[in-house]
Amino acid sequence: MCGIVGLFLKDKALEPQLGGLVAGMLATMCDRGPDSAGFAVYGDSQPDRVKLTLRGPSPAALQALVPKLAMTAGTPVAPVMRDTHLTILVPTACETAVRDEIAASAPEVTVVGAGRRMEIFKEVGRPDTVASRFDLARMSGTHAIGHTRMATESAVTTNGAHPFTTGPDQCLVHNGSLSNHNAVRRTLVREGLSFETDNDSEVAAGYLTWRMREGLSLGDALQASLRDLDGFYTFVVGTESGFGVLRDPIACKPAVMAETERWVAFGTEYRALVDLPGVAAAKMWEPEPAKVYFWERG
């Protein structure tokens, strides 16, 4: 099972409602994935600043880190606490120093996402509860992807929840199960990548990261995954400017897309889309198997 939702706004007027719309979509997919949930939201950016999403064992542990990171960055870091996650904005030139500081003074805190615009939140629990813990409903932005997980391949943990980051401003969510993930993981470990879980989707994310590190574009990396990843999957990848969709050639895992003048949406089921504004008049279709789709801001 598992549920995926994605929403890409064409109409700027809807941007303040992004979180609210996606929270509703995610809640509808609770019964496809009640174990855990996560989402990536693409919000504002600032010149020469990188946004880091940190996850810690408690809000206090993250809070304690803020002054140290501001010191390292040499400037206030605009901290926003959301339950077990903290987002900060640091000068791009200081990113490495800030990451080093986090690793040195709070090894229990992990950087779960980085980019100009992307913020990633994920936790164990019912998706609607997870969404309200992070106050998703009040987030704004241009696009977001979300995932509700019913674990099949590995344990129900926060690290095993989606999205998985694949690079700056990039993340992946997956519905399905890969059958050759152990072999692919071994190859990727030899290539220098490291993995935190036994999760098959983390391997898919690592695979895309590796392919792009080797010089492929995201689209070409997805295309290559058709050859190298064996199993069932619908992937949705978030990028700074939009999102992409790929279904495996057998296409067992359901997927529906809808588009209006104001937005493009992805749902594992149509149920996830029913409350979007103007959905009754939307163009609706099922993505073709083995075909890479992208929606990007012009």
Partner 1 sequence: MRTVDLAVAPLRELNAALHSLKPETNERRWRVLNPRGAHAVAAGIDAAVRIEIEGHVGYYCAGMNKFATVVINGNAGPGVAENMMSGKVHVTGDVSQAAGASGCGGLLQVDGNAAARCGISMKGIDIVVKGSVGHMSAFMAQAGNLVVLGDAGEALGDSIYEARLYVRGSPKSLGADCIEKPLRDEHRRDLRRLLDAAMLGGEVDVAEFKRYGSARALYHFHIDNLGSY
φ and ψ at residue 217, rounded to 5 degrees = -75, 165
State the nearest-atom distance from the C-beta of 226 to partner 1, in Å: 14
DSSP for residue 29:
T
Instruction: Considering the complex, state which of residue 13 and residue 280 has its C-beta at the smaller distance from partner 1.
Output: 280
The CA-atom distances, in angstroms, between 215 and each of 55, 141, 155, 196 are 30, 29, 33, 24
State the nearest-atom distance from the C-beta of 32 to partner 1, in Å: 11
Q: By CB under 8 A, is residue 291 in contact with partner 1?
A: no
Q: By CB under 8 A, is residue 254 in contact with partner 1?
A: yes
Instruction: Considering the complex, state which of residue 159 and residue 268 has its C-beta at the smaller distance from partner 1.
Output: 268
d(CA 176, CA 2): 7
Instruction: Considering the complex, state which of residue 77 and residue 292 has its C-beta at the smaller distance from partner 1.
Output: 292
Query: Burial code of 86-120, b = ≥16 C-beta within 10 A, e = fewer?
Result: bbbbbbeebbeebbebbeeebeebbbbbbbbbbbb
Is position 2 annotated as part of the catalytic site?
A: yes
- Length of the chain (residues): 298
Q: By CB under 8 A, is residue 251 in contact with partner 1?
A: yes
Q: Which range of residues in 13-21, 92-100, 216-224, 247-255 is near partner 1 by CB under 8 A?
A: 247-255
Catalytic residue, chosen from 2, 30, 94, 252, is 2
Instruction: Considering the complex, state which of residue 70 and residue 251 has its C-beta at the smaller distance from partner 1.
Output: 251
Query: Burial code of 232-258, b = ≥16 C-beta within 10 A, e = fewer?
Result: bbbbbbbbbbbbbbbbbeebebbbbbb
Q: By CB under 8 A, is residue 150 in contact with partner 1?
A: no
d(CA 79, CA 53): 10
Q: By CB under 8 A, is residue 226 in contact with partner 1?
A: no
Residues 264-283 that bind partner 1 (CB under 8 A): 269-274
φ and ψ at residue 240, rounded to 5 degrees = -55, -35
Q: By CB under 8 A, is residue 30 in contact with partner 1?
A: no
Active site residues: 2
Chain residues that interact with partner 1, rule: CB under 8 A: 250-252, 254, 256, 269-274, 284-286, 289
